Every structure is written in C-alpha cells, then in structure tokens.
Structure 1
C-alpha cells in the first residue's frame, strides 16, 4: 500500500484521530538500531504520515481492525517498547497497559486461525438471572429431598476472554448487552475486531433439577 510520507504541520489529536481506528501509534525518531524496521512497519499500516509537532517529527501509524494490521501493530509495539515519546491510543482511549493490549490482539489473531472463529471467541452460559437459584440447588442436605425441573434459557456470550471477569447485575437498569459492552471497555476487550456485545442472545434452553 503506497503511503503519503510527506511532512505535515497539523498537530496530533490522538483522541480524535484514534476514534475510528483499532490502534494509533505515534513515535519520534529514535537512536535505536531498530528504528528503520519500526519505520518500515509503520509505513505498512492502513494509514501513515509524518507530523511536525513543535519541531519534533512524529511518525503516526493508524491500524484498521483486521488480521494484517493486527500483526503489524504487534510488531510495531514490540519494536518501540521502551522508547521515549511513544504514544498509543485505541478508539479514542489511551493505552496504559501495552502488553495487555498486545495480548488482546494475539487472542484475536488466534481466532483468525480457526475454521469457525465463534468456537474460539464465544461461550454458552445460563441466563444470568438464574445463577443464584442454580447455586442454591447445590446445597447438601440430610434426609430426603424434593426437586423440581426448571427450564433455563441459555445465551451466547460474545467474548471468552472477558467471561471469567464478567459480573452481571440482573437488576441493573442497563441491559445485559450494555453491561457486557461496559465490561469490555473496562477490561480492554473493546478494541478487538470481533468484540460485539450485541451478539449476546438466547440460543437454547436447558432443564435443571433444583431443590424445593
């Protein structure tokens, strides 16, 4: 992809510039021996330009939410790690934990290797509102017990990476989908090209025997 590498004078607005991109990395020239490679990687991003920021030339690379750019982003992160003056933003948010973001991208790339990405990304769970009842049914009691069958909805949870830390609040005024989206922002999954909280939907039902 041919890039416009002319120097422009407009300042960098990372919040606005990164709002529509999976990732934006901006870095100055470095004395590191790895600088030529980092520059070559940055020039292969979906969008690249050089900005004169108060007399300092900043190399700005924008990465789109696709497999190719995810691989390039990981490489550029690896090359520029530890350099002074490097800034990174994703969808309008500063990236504070670089390695956590790289781990998210690696998870996405694993899904790209799967015949069905959903087999990697999604988890089937019970209706969150049923959990307190289900856990009660596991209580051990002495003597005869009476049970009854309960039909429970089963849902597709859209992110296996997020699921271990997800804590639903069934009585919260926000929808379950909005709670997932908010958790994705908090846990750094929001920038994954496959993350879509709207995919949380009922897919089947299951029957459990619970104590009465």
Structure 2
C-alpha cells in the first residue's frame, strides 16, 4: 500500500471525510476481534459513517465532532480498535497510528466536562521535583522530567512533555496555565 495514497485507495475515498472538518476520523478494517461488531455499531452512531474496500478488504470510517457525545463514542471505538493492524485515525487532519494515547486524552477530556470548573480538574500541582502547577492531568505523572536547571523554560519543557505524551491537542490544554508554586 506504500505506493498508494491513504486518502484514496481502491473504491474508498476518505478525502471528503478529512476535508469535512471533523475533529477526529477513525478508520479500521474488518477483523476477527470479539469487539468488531460493537465497534461497527458504535461507528454507525457517528455524525459521518462510511465503509468501503481498500485492496479488497472492508474498512470502516467514522467522523466525530468535538461534542461530549462524539468524544464518548470516539474514545470507546479507539479503545476497541487500538491494537488492530490497519486501524488509524486523522486527528485535526493529521494522520495518527498510535490510537491509545488519543483514547486516553479523549476520556480525560470527556471526564473534565463533568467538572464545574475544568481548570480545577485539569490543572494539578507537581508533587515531585519542580514545584509547578501543570496545565494537564495527563502529564502529571511524568513531570519528574522537568528541570529548573534546563536551558529551556519550564513552559517550553511542559509543552514538549505534552507533545511527547500526546495531549497537546486537547482543547483544555493551555500552556499559559503552567505556573511555578
């Protein structure tokens, strides 16, 4: 498949899905997983569902918007198809092959929507090493890599950490919420 575009292969053209401006598009093949049927059923609940063939194999496409309902559906599907060969996603138009980090951030984002104050949910103090208020719950367990003696500012280090852990795209993530304590 390396010589073919991921956007248009055989009779499945996903360019309209990517161009439609969906926050997340999940693509996965027919497979033998025990969760296949439920994955397809949930995908069909998305705002945009298509299926088609790529090199003779059936693939499913589900497009999601940035609503609580869609985030919940997308997180569920990603958990079910994350380990399946040939499953991938477009997150804000960028191709992603590692689906578990996306699922983790979507789950966190959805959970934050239940908090009266999202900042109180998302922002956590770092208890180890550098005393800092972190802008993201997802990176809180990894803040031990931050170093006051680094040539890079703490904000730059936190932003780089968020990229490495895959949460920099979260709508709740705001690097300006990084504050020394």
TM score, norm. by length of structure 2: 0.66
DSSP 3-state at the match of 1:179: helix
Residue 74 (structure 1) shift = 2.5
**For each residue in 1:72-94, what CA deviation from the matched residue of structure 2 results, as whole angstroms up to 9, or x when unmatched?**
01222344465453234545253
**For each residue in 1:150-208, what CA deviation from the matched residue of structure 2 results, as whole angstroms up to 9, or x when unmatched?**
xxxx9643113313312334465554433222211111222433222233357xxx7xx
Residue 38 (structure 1) shift = 2.2
Which position in structure 2 is the counterpart of 1:161?
138
Match of 1:182 among 116, 135, 160: 160
Which position in structure 2 is the counterpart of 1:67?
68
Residues 115-194 of structure 1: matches in 2 within 5 Å?
115-124=116-125, 156-166=133-143, 167-170=145-148, 172=150, 174-194=152-172
Q: Which runs of 5+ in 2 are unaligned?
A: 1-9
Residue 125 (structure 1) shift = 6.5
Q: Looking at both structures, which has the greater relative contact order when contacts are Cα pairs under 8 Å and sequence separation is at least 6?
A: 1
Q: CA RMSD in A?
A: 3.8
Instruction: From the superposition, tell whether residues 97 and 56 of structure 1 become closer, same or farther in structure 2 (CA, over 3 Å).
Output: closer
In 1, are the aligned partners of 2:79 and 2:103 still within 8 Å (CA)? no
Normalized per residue, which structure has more strand? 1
Which position in structure 1 is the counterpart of 2:44?
43
DSSP 3-state at the match of 2:28: strand
Aligned residues: 167
Instruction: From the superposition, tell whether residues 36 and 184 of structure 1 become closer, same or farther in structure 2 (CA, over 3 Å).
Output: same
Residue 27 (structure 1) shift = 1.6
In 2, are the aligned partners of 1:65 and 1:192 still within 8 Å (CA)? no
Which position in structure 2 is the counterpart of 1:139?
none
Moved more, 80-89 or 160-169: 80-89
Structure-2 separation of matches of 1:164 and 1:9: 44
DSSP 3-state at the match of 2:116: coil
Larger-gyration structure (1/2): 1
Structure-1 separation of matches of 2:168 and 2:155: 13
Instruction: From the superposition, tell whether residues 200 and 37 of structure 1 become closer, same or farther in structure 2 (CA, over 3 Å).
Output: same
